[in-house]
Amino acid sequence: MADAQRAAQGGEAAPATLRRGLSAFNVQMISLGGIIGSCYFLGIGDTVSKVGPATALSLLLGGAIVWLVANAMGELCVGLPRSGSFVSYAGELVSRPWAAGVGWSYWINWCAYVPSEMVAAGIIMNGFVPSVPVMIWAILFGGLLTFVNLRNVKSFGAIESTLAMIKISAIALFCVIGLLLWTGAIGQQGFLGARVLTGGRGLEGRAPAGGLAIVNTMVIILVNYQGTEIVALSAAETENPEKNIPVVIRNVAFRIVAIFVLPVAILVSIFPSGEAGLEGSVFAAALAKHGLSWAGSVLSAVVLVAALSCANSGMYGNTRALYSLAREGLAPRALAKLNKNQVPARATLATVGLCWAFVPLFALFKGTTFYTWLLSVSGFTGAVCWISISWCQLRFRRRVRARGYRDRELPFRAPLFPYLAHVAIWVQLGCLVFVALNPALRACLVIGVPAVIVPLGIAQLIRRRGGLVAPPLPPGERSFDELYPPRPESRDGD
């Protein structure tokens, strides 16, 4: 059936839907791959220098937000399956102009973030092979990522799962070595206990820059967690999504917290926060401080894998977001066309094109305030996407209840509705308010706010002129009315 639809010209067979080639394991690895990038291994040092040991608390708070959003996402993916993911949910449950604002800002988000990983990989390779400029490496990696994303999704899933496992193994190895150093089982320092936490900057190291540092850096913390929503974007290509997506949702949020919070808690227990920074991997610096100088070379290789993996996952998710916009009629229809591998090739090429446009900016400003500013743009638009997911869950549950259905009848439901959904929305809105109040990050709103408002406004104008009509659902998808027909006790007026 996938090949039944024919191209409008030339009579060439064109696949109608994305191919389901991802297992539950693949989806978990792709999601983790999207969040464990060079920003994790390199950028965490800057946060530790500002927030100190309380970085672990910041990550835990960020992880709580991830868990809330992941549950909302799981409820939508299982209760109202849509190949367009959060773009389709925003259009169906809120409004089509809002879907345009969320979808296009998300696309810009990852187009701004993926190049940072390409350049990070280029800088690492330039260290190994100085004769080849950083830009050349970045372009080569961009071409490699394009090739991988144009292949069938099963091959992509296998490659990304392998890269993600390498990163997770490196993090696990650091945790083991870090614990051995802390207990005194290896090294000459003996049992560290709370010496590092209470020494130097003391327990005020919980937030060296002040208590508000935890909140002020939260948007950067949330940048680290961006990529969790790829689970929803991959639902249309996941085998047995009704069974696998809930499993992935339950597991990914907890694994994310473990991957971020535990290693950082160990890090600040063996390495003074005052010595952390952006100069290199703070994890390598921590091990080198205890005589394990080989860690620098090993971590450089791991950071290279992390950068490529994160860029690969990000490009995958971003391509699917643009494909979803096209399927929803919120982007040129041509971008929804699939190649023979049932991959959105045109959406991939369009995404790569904008990514490459950002590469020179990151190459020129890597390690500067402008670099942090660009990352904060990613955090802003990513937060808008997560707020939208929680908002859609609120609208979905209320519509289902209005049709006469009880919460327990849903195949997957987020706990403590509607309280936790409101918490997820208002906490993230609070983080964005602090961005506006932080002079170092405020400039990101110059791009972040228009990235949402401009497409939303354009879509609103088109709708007022009689356009922006919702397209028919793709083959195999059922409407809300089919899934939840009104019952006699329904309060729904339609």
Q: pLDDT per residue over 205-233, tens digit each?
A: 445 555 566 666 666 677 667 767 776 66
7 inside domain = no
Q: Left if phi > 0, otherwise alpha if psi is -120 to 50, otherwise beta: which for 14?
A: beta
pLDDT, tens digit, 9 for 90 and up, residues 176-188? 999 999 988 887 7
pLDDT attached to residue 204: 41
Q: What percent of the chain has pLDDT over 90?
A: 16
Asked whether 139 and 361 are in contact (CB, 8 A), the reply is: no
The rounded distance, in Å, linking the Cα atoms of 452 and 101 is 4
CA 409 vs. chain centroid, Å, equals: 30
**pTM for the predicted model, two decimal places:** 0.84
If pLDDT is split at 50, 70 and 90, which confidence band does 301 have? confident
6: helix, strand or coil: strand
49: helix, strand or coil: helix
1 inside domain = no
- Per the model's pLDDT, the better-predicted residue between 58 and 214 turns out to be 58
Residue 391 clears pLDDT 90, i.e. is over it? yes
DSSP state of 472: P
Q: DSSP string spanning 448-462?
A: HHHHHHHHHHHHHHH
Which neighbouring-strand residues pair with 238?
22
pLDDT attached to residue 15: 47
354 inside domain = yes
The rounded distance, in Å, linking the Cα atoms of 256 and 262 is 10
18 inside domain = no
Q: Which residues contact 494 (CB under 8 A, 6 or more apart)?
A: 486
Asked whether 38 and 117 are in contact (CB, 8 A), the reply is: yes
Nearest of 193, 178, 165, 421 to residue 309 by alpha carbon:
165
Asked whether 318 and 111 are in contact (CB, 8 A), the reply is: yes
Q: What is the CATH number of the domain that holds 464?
A: 1.20.1740.10
If pLDDT is split at 50, 70 and 90, which confidence band does 399 have? very high
**Count, residues in the chain:** 494
User: In 10 A of CB 493, how many CB atoms?
Assistant: 6
492 inside domain = no
The rounded distance, in Å, linking the Cα atoms of 276 and 44 is 9
494 inside domain = no
Domain count, the chain: 1
Residue 384 domain boundaries: 29-483
462 inside domain = yes
Which neighbouring-strand residues pair with 6?
13
pLDDT, tens digit, 9 for 90 and up, residues 117-173? 887 788 788 878 888 888 888 888 888 888 888 887 888 788 888 888 888 888 888
Asked whether 29 and 160 are in contact (CB, 8 A), the reply is: yes
422 inside domain = yes
The rounded distance, in Å, linking the Cα atoms of 424 and 61 is 11
Cis? peptide before 53, omega within 30° of 0: no
Number of alpha carbons in the 13 Å side-chain half-sphere of residue 455: 22
489: helix, strand or coil: coil
Asked whether 54 and 274 are in contact (CB, 8 A), the reply is: no
Name the token pair of 226: 């961006």
Check the CA dihedral 16-8-12-337 and report its sign: negative
Residue 22 phi/psi, 5-degree rounding, is -105, 130
